[in-house]
Amino acid sequence: MSEKILTAEELAEEIKKRFGVKDITIDKKAVGVKKRERVNLWIKGRREILKDLVKYLMELDYPHLAIISGSDLGSTVELIYHFSIYYGRKYQEIAINFSIELPKNDLTVPTICDLIPGALVTEREKQEMLGIKIEGIPDDRRIFLPEDFPEGVYPWRRDETGPDKMIRDLYEVREDED
């Protein structure tokens, strides 16, 4: 881990240079009477660079993965990895929101559990809620959905694999006979 702390601008430049990413937005917001700033970096990237980006962040500071959020955008599924680095240094944390879009005919993304073991819970959640496949995930069981939830239905999807039919035809849901 390097001692030098990069500013948001330096970090954005470095990521652009190393990974060939073009679309990076630096979102600064000043709050309170003293107008102290907090910095969000929004990066639009590709899944091919995900692991290398995490490795690069690990060179700077151990990245904290808060959550992976996901949206069904029609022809693609978007995943956003919400990382942060430089926590533990007063007011210097940089939040890094790394988004990737996966085409619906190839919903796969490599696991990052080998780098950040704490990513397991959120990766399992993305599998069951969005129907994506996390390649190499150490534990691919469901986590939040019940075991009797039908296969092939993904609650956060907005297409034919979404839960619309289950919600519309609620009368079909019967209690188990046991």
Partner 1 sequence: MKISYSIPIGPVHPALKEPVMFEFEIEGERIVNVDFKVGHVHRGIEWIGMHRKNPLQILPIAERICGICNISHPFAFCIAVENAAKIDVPDRAQYIRTIIAELERIHSHILWAGVAAHEIGFDSVLYLTWRVREKVLDLLEYLTGNRITKAMFTIGGVRRDITEEQYPKIREALDFYKKSFEKLKHVFLDDKTVKLRSRDCGILTKEDALKLCAVGPTTRASGVKKDVRVDFPYAAYGDLDIDYITPDILTGEVRGDVYDRIVVRLLEVKQSVEIIEQCLDNMPDGEIMFEPKVAKLLALLKKASGDGVGRAEAPRGEVIHYVKMREQDTPYTWKVRAPTYNNLMPWIPMLKGEQIADIPIVAASTDPCLSCTNRVAIVKDGKKEIVTHEYLHKLSVEKTRRLIG
Q: Does 163 bind partner 1 (CB under 8 A)?
A: yes
Burial 129-163 (b: 16+ CB within 10 A, else e): bbbbebeebeeeeeeebeeeeeeebbbbbeeeebe
- Chosen residue from 103, 146, 150, 152 binding partner 1 by CB under 8 A: 146
Q: CB of 42: closest distance to partner 1 in angstroms? A: 7
Give 92's contacts (C-beta < 8 A, 6+ positions apart).
5, 86
Print the binding letters for residues 4-43 with partner 1: x by CB under 8 A, - otherwise.
-----------------------x-x-xxxxxxxx-x-x-
Q: CB of 16: closest distance to partner 1 in angstroms? A: 20
Stretch that binds partner 1, among 1-9, 13-21, 144-152, 170-178 (CB under 8 A): 144-152
Q: Does 140 bind partner 1 (CB under 8 A)?
A: no
Q: Does 95 bind partner 1 (CB under 8 A)?
A: yes
**Rounded (10°) CA dihedral 149, 151, 155, 160:** -140
CA distance 102 to 138: 21
Contact criterion met (CB below 8 Å) for 28 and 37: yes
Q: CB of 31: closest distance to partner 1 in angstroms? A: 6
3-state secondary structure of 142: coil
Which contiguous run of DSSP H or E holds residue 144?
A: none
Per CB under 8 A, residues contacting partner 1 are 27, 29, 31-38, 40, 42, 62, 64-67, 69-71, 80, 82, 84, 86-93, 95, 97, 116-122, 142-146, 155-156, 163
